[in-house]
Amino acid sequence: MTSPSTSAPAMTSLDPQELRSWFQEHQDLVVIDVRSAAEFESMHIRGSYNVPLPLLSEHTDEFAARLGSRVVLVCQSGARAEQARQRLGGAGIGTAHVLTGGVPGFAAAGGDVVRGQGRWDLERQVRLAAGSLVVLGLAGGRFVSPKIRMLAGAIGTGLTFSAATNTCAMGQALSAMPWNRAATEPTREAAILQLPVVNTLAGQARAS
């Protein structure tokens, strides 16, 4: 008999083409987009539900109680979706998948997406902000005061910490900016109630 410690780990990534086929084959499929509401408005997979990562992280158990075993998490590139997968895993959802390539990858593969007002995605904004601050620190250190170079060092340290912890404080800060706010931001109640109850008994067992 194979012990649990030697069992093969569950597959956690999902190819865009496979997701396309899942839409046709599985009625219990739930696709959760963990990007900001503004990013979701800009472009999202048709039939997906918007639950921004900060909201999911704060109320993980409540969201997990609404979900079944066929859950696909999507974002822009996969980083935020992986954070959501780990959160849900801790709440008993151990079979969630992360879409490879995120929403842009699904669209490039011919998937059905809904397009709205064009906005820069959050990860692109983070790259612009971090790069601009580094350039500002280096230029200020040369022409104003050497102490300003510490700004570039602080940004580098922050990016290193972000990679090590798979979090992004700058991204969270930028998501709160006015230009990144959608017309309607999802509340806890609205985000939970929009999800179909596909596994009520399992959800109650995890919540008890």
Element (H, E) at 113: strand 113-115
Just give the CATH number of 11-119+182-201: 3.40.250.10
Of residues 26 and 123, more confidently modeled? 26
Residue extents of the structural domains in the chain: 11-119+182-201, 122-167
Task: Tell me what pLDDT residue 198 has.
Answer: 62
Global pTM?
0.66
pLDDT in tens, 43-99: 999 999 999 999 999 999 999 999 988 999 999 999 999 999 999 999 999 989 999
Tell me the mean pLDDT in the region 91-114.
Answer: 95
- In this predicted structure, the answer to whether residue 158 has a pLDDT above a threshold of 80 is no
Q: Which of 6-10, 15-19, 34-38 has the highest mean pLDDT?
A: 15-19
The pLDDT of residue 1: 41
Q: Of 157, 196, 163, nearest to 65 (Cα)?
A: 196
DSSP symbol at 78: S
For residue 207, pLDDT beyond 60: no
